Amino acid sequence: MPEVLKAPLVVEFPFTRSLGPVQSAFLTGLRERLVLGVRTADGRTLVPPVEYDPVTAEELHELVEVAATGTVTTWAWNHAPRRGQPLATPFAWVLVRLDGAGTALLHALDAPGPDAVHTGMRVRIRWAENRTGAITDIACFEPHDGEPGRPGGERQESDGERVTGIVAPARLDYTYSPGRAQSAYIEALSTRRTVGERCPSCRKVYVPPRGACPTCGVPTAEQVEVGPRGTVTTFCIVNIKAKNLDIEVPYVYAHIALDGAGLALHGRIGGIPYDQVRMGLRVEPVWTDGARYPDHYRPTGEPDADYDAYKELL
């Protein structure tokens, strides 16, 4: 059995999110070093503010200012900060109830060590130098032994627009492994061969193989080499040029049933004008130097396959 393949896979996405009136006010406030909460019907002040009461589901909109100082309600010492977290040096995760608020906000506390942190300790916000209207405008909390701050006490007016959205970038790193069946398929492609797997029950050959027959729900294991030639079973004409793809439009994208395969795979058809591609056209793969899969398929020049020969594979 060939070795199972592995490769790094990075998933990165900048989520663009719009804000409702409450979140917009809160994040605009942070940019101006002002912390806003929202008042519930029973007189509690929720910080950070939300648009609906978590108990009654009533819509909330009465914004109130709270102080930049507060009290730690619980904490946890993080000796090994991870990527993206607020501080790169060891810090405490804290829930902080700001003075004037009835609920607590999650953030980081910059402290020399776990012995310097306890529930009930007094802290204040350390503002980020460059504030954009995001929760990270609070750089972190720091210990504070002075008087409780005043609501809005540190406000710094900015002439920026109201914050109506955030862009939340996210990156996750994976080590992808396609598993046994697909590893074998990719290994074979490196020697320009295409292998599928035969279902022990219905005898169909799956290309690319995934280790299971979707009709019978049983594992497949018997490797079968298919192709290299095949038959176009159906196709479409692509008229829109994809970004970062230097293929001239229009071109044909087709389902190709490789000889011996029990279902068709996808491929681009080249070497023939796009409007002459047809069902039943016999094709073969064209490899380019150093490629890991066929660049496209071109006509073999054989007579077209009989419809009955591929109708089950449409």
Partner 1 sequence: MTREETPGVRDIAIVAFAQTDVLRTTDELSEVEMLMPVLHSVLDRTGLKTADIGFTCSGSSDYLAGRAFSFTLALDGVGAWPPISESHVEMDGAWALYEAWTKLLTGDADTALVYSYGKSSPGSLRDVLTRQLDPYYVAPLWPDSVALAALQAQALIDAGEADESALATIGTRSRRVATLNSHAQLRGTVPQGDYAVRPLRTGDCPPVGDGAAAVILAAGERARELCSRPAWIRGIDHRIEAHSLGVRDLTDSPSTRLAAERAGVFERPVDTAELHAPFSAQEIVLRKALRLDDSVRVNLSGGALAANPMMAAGLIRMGEAAARIHRGESDRALAHATSGPCLQQNLVAVLEGDAR
Structure tokens at 76: 């946890």
Residue 68 buriedness (CB in 10 A; 0-12 / 13-18 / 19+): buried
* DSSP element (H, E) containing 25: helix 21-31
What is the closest distance, in whole angstroms, from the C-beta atom of residue 187 to Zn ion in the complex?
23
Contacts of 108 (CB under 8 A, 6+ apart): 78, 85, 86, 87, 91, 92, 93, 94, 140, 141
Question: How many amino acids of this chain bind partner 1 (CB under 8 A)?
Answer: 65
Instruction: Report the residue number, 117 or 281, with the smaller CB distance to partner 1.
Output: 117
Residue 83 binds which entry of Zn ion, partner 1, none, with Cβ cut-offs from 5 to 8 Å by kind? partner 1
State the binding partner of 202 from partner 1, Zn ion, none, CB within 5 to 8 A by kind: Zn ion
Choose between 64 and 247: whose C-beta lies nearer to partner 1.
Answer: 64
The 8-class DSSP code of residue 100 comes to T
Closest approach of Cβ 175 to partner 1, in Å?
Answer: 6
CB atoms under 10 Å from CB of 291, counted, come to 12
- Site residues (CB under 8 A) for partner 1, limited to 208-247: 210-219
Extended beta strands in 40-90, E state: 45-46, 62-66, 69-78
**Residue 6: closest CA among 149, 138, 175:** 175
| Cα 167 from chain centroid (whole Å) | 14
Q: CB under 8 A: which stretch of 10-18, 124-132, 246-254, 288-296 binds partner 1?
A: 10-18
Could you give the string, one character per residue 247-286, with x where binding to partner 1 holds by CB under 8 A and - elsewhere? ----------------------------------------
Segment holding 180, helix H or strand E: helix 179-189
- Per CB under 8 A, 112 contacts partner 1: no
Binding of partner 1 by 84 (CB under 8 A): yes
H or E, element range at 282: strand 282-286
> Which residues of the shown chain bind partner 1 in the complex (CB under 8 A)?
4, 6, 9, 11, 15, 17, 19, 23, 27, 46-48, 50, 54-55, 73-79, 82-86, 93, 95, 97, 103-108, 114, 119, 134-136, 166, 168, 170, 172-182, 210-219
